[in-house]
């Protein structure tokens, strides 16, 4: 968009733009240095300096400013980082489209938005399957955020999908992958928790919580709130893997997935206990934008993800 009369934004005419500038913009925003951006693009430093000058004129903003002996992004440049990545991803998807799809020869990049939990459970076998079936392809497992969930309709368009349990995303196509269940973690030395944890314990003890935002509570935390228990979040993280360490040696408790708890080492400093309330099953699904429905490459990829998920051990076989 560009500024028109009366401050009204009007669409930029793409026909007047050199879309190669988009690649230069991504490299400059990523590297925050003209020399490194030039190396990443395989271009000369003067060529990238010229591209930066054109970008500065287009946006009316410096984009990169020197602070001491380094460059930093301007506020506008910071807002452009994610937009630029999405735009490049969309262009790559358009020009990698083909009437037929051959996984053996494709060099396509497949991108999934995932939590570190899903990366641990599903990402490892999926990477192995991709290497065997599509050896020239690239699998990108990108961490998702609560903002990705809230803006799923927009965030899913430039990627191949998001692995997310039911209860967060609506009106997007999905494929159920696997079930898990919630368990409670408590430190081995936490004397305030007996052989079994109670609802009173969960109400009284401090918590390690994940995604502690109104739109991003885990389903189990939402169930607790319906029982009148508001977890007292002492530590908040936006990933699951550090949770056991944040519980060990403290009076904190946390809810984690049984598949994640099953991966703990022989002496993790925590106990894995059954939840003291009827926690509904956690059903992980692959969600994608409808624009990908008929794409042959995406259809193949969805099938591979489903096949890998079907080969995971059942959650019921995991020990508490």
What is the pLDDT, as a whole number, of residue 3?
Answer: 47
**What pLDDT does 178 receive?**
94
- Six-digit token pair at 145? 């955020």
pLDDT confidence of residue 70:
84
> Can you give the pLDDT at residue 239?
86
The span from the CA of 259 to the CA of 284, in Å, is 12
- Report which of residues 183 and 218 the model is more confident about: 183
Predicted confidence band of residue 14 (pLDDT cuts 50, 70, 90): low
| Alpha-carbon gap, residue 249 to 187, rounded angstroms | 6
pLDDT tens, position by position, 130-176: 999 999 999 999 988 777 777 777 788 888 999 988 878 888 999 99
Comparing 302 with 224, the larger pLDDT belongs to: 302
d(CA 307, CA 177): 9
CA distance 231 to 16: 55
**pLDDT at residue 96 above 70?**
no
pLDDT value of residue 8: 44
In angstroms, the CA 237 to CA 249 distance is 17
Would the pLDDT of 93 be above 70? no
Residue 128: per-residue pLDDT:
97
Q: In this predicted model, what pLDDT tens digit does every residue of 103-114 receive, in sequence order?
A: 999 988 999 999
Residues 232-255 as b/e (b if ≥16 CB within 10 A, e otherwise) read eeebebbebeebbebbbebbbbbb
Listed range (14-18, 75-79, 201-205) with the worst mean pLDDT: 14-18
Range in 41-55, 78-92, 189-203, 281-295 with the lowest mean pLDDT = 78-92
Length of the chain equals 320
Q: What is the mean pLDDT of residues 116-121?
A: 92
| Average of per-residue pLDDT across 68-96 | 82
Average pLDDT score over the chain:
85
Tokens 């400059």 sit at which residue? 28
Read off the pLDDT of residues 243-263 as tens digits, 9 standing for 90 and up. 999 999 999 999 999 999 998
pLDDT-derived band at 286, boundaries 50, 70, 90? very high
pTM tops 0.75, yes or no:
no
pLDDT at 294: 86
């Amino acid at each position: 968009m560009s500024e028109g009369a009366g401050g009204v934004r009007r669409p930029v005419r793409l026909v007047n733009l050199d879309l190669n500038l988009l690649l230069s913009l991504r490299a400059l925003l990523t590297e925050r240095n003209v020399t490194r951006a030039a190396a990443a693009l395989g271009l000369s430093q003067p060529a990238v300096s010229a591209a930066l000058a054109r970008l500065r004129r287009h946006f009316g903003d410096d984009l990169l400013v020197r602070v001491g002996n380094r460059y930093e992004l301007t506020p506008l440049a910071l807002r452009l980082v994610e937009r630029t990545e999405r735009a490049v991803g969309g262009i790559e998807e358009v020009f990698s489209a083909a009437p037929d799809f051959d996984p053996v020869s494709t060099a396509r990049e497949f991108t999934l938005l995932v939590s570190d939990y899903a990366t641990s459970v599903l990402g490892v076998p999926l990477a192995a399957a991709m290497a065997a079936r599509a050896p020239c392809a690239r699998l990108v497992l990108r961490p998702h955020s609560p903002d990705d969930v809230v803006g799923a309709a927009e965030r899913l368009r430039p990627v191949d999908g998001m692995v997310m349990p039911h209860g967060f995303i609506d009106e997007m196509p999905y494929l159920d992958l696997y079930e898990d269940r919630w368990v409670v973690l408590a430190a081995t030395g936490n004397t305030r928790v007996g052989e079994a944890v109670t609802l009173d314990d969960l109400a009284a003890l401090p918590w390690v919580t994940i995604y502690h935002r109104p739109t991003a509570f885990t389903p189990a935390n939402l169930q607790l709130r319906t029982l009148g228990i508001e977890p007292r979040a002492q530590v908040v993280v936006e990933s699951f893997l550090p949770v056991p360490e944040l519980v060990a040696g403290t009076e904190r408790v946390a809810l984690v997935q049984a598949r994640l708890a099953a991966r703990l080492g022989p002496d993790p400093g925590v106990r894995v206990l059954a939840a003291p309330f009827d926690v509904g099953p956690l059903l992980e699904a692959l969600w994608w934008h409808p624009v990908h429905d008929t794409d042959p490459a995406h259809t193949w990829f969805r099938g591979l993800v489903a096949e890998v998920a079907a080969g995971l051990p059942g959650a019921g076989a995991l020990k508490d």
